[in-house]
Chains A and B, each alone.
Chain A
Amino acid sequence: GNSVTQMEGPVTLSEEAFLTINCTYTATGYPSLFWYVQYPGEGLQLLLKATKADDKGSNKGFEATYRKETTSFHLEKGSVQVSDSAVYFCAPTQGGSEKLVFGKGTKLTVNP
């Protein structure tokens, strides 16, 4: 089955700092790759995704590139904001009967 190794936090940054959260995965096939974000007290919601090698997903200034050769999908943002404070989860998904697994989550706190 799939598995995910995600950089553990917590991560604390000042506003406008550069963010990287590392994520590597193992999968038996060719998964799509997702980053989800969870704001306090809520469920997870999709942040961005990439469906094949070398694709770049992007949303709200965040980016991640599907690197098949290194089995990685690192999340980056050039200039974080206080409103980006949340927990971020990486997840490969293959569908079918493959169960949905997540990284352990990385808590990001951005200070003004």
Chain B
Amino acid sequence: SQTIHQWPATLVQPVGSPLSLECTVEGTSNPNLYWYRQAAGRGLQLLFYSVGIGQISSEVPQNLSASRPQDRQFILSSKKLLLSDSGFYLCASTGGGNTEAFFGQGTRLTVV
């Protein structure tokens, strides 16, 4: 099975500061990778997904960007954080085919 490493677990950043969240995957190759944001402890909003190195699909216009510099590395970034960027961010991976998704433990981002 896969293991998803996501860090940091908690982050407090001032408005206007940059952001970089990293996610790495073990146990598979050429996964589909996803970044979700979860507000109010419930729904998952898909932000970005990637089917391969350098291939990024953006789901929602926003203040964030994503990059996939290596097969099993997925990075979520922002140049200038907004208060509305606060939330719980989750990285996920699927190994291709009709397989289950594996999730990181999440990053709680608070923009102050």
List A residues at the B interface (Cβ < 8 Å). Answer: 31-32, 34, 36, 40-46, 49, 51, 87, 89, 91, 93-97, 99-102, 104-105, 107
Contact = CB atoms under 8 A, between A and B. Distances in A.
Contacts of B51: 97
Interface stretch (B62-70, B72-80, B99-107): B99-107
A32 B101 CA distance: 11
Interface of B: 4, 6, 32, 34, 41-44, 46, 49, 51, 57, 59, 90, 92, 94, 96-101, 103-106, 108
A100 B49 contact: yes
Given A102-B44, A105-B42, A95 B98 contact: yes
- Secondary structure at the B interface, as helix, strand, loop or mixed, is strand
A94 B100 CA distance: 10
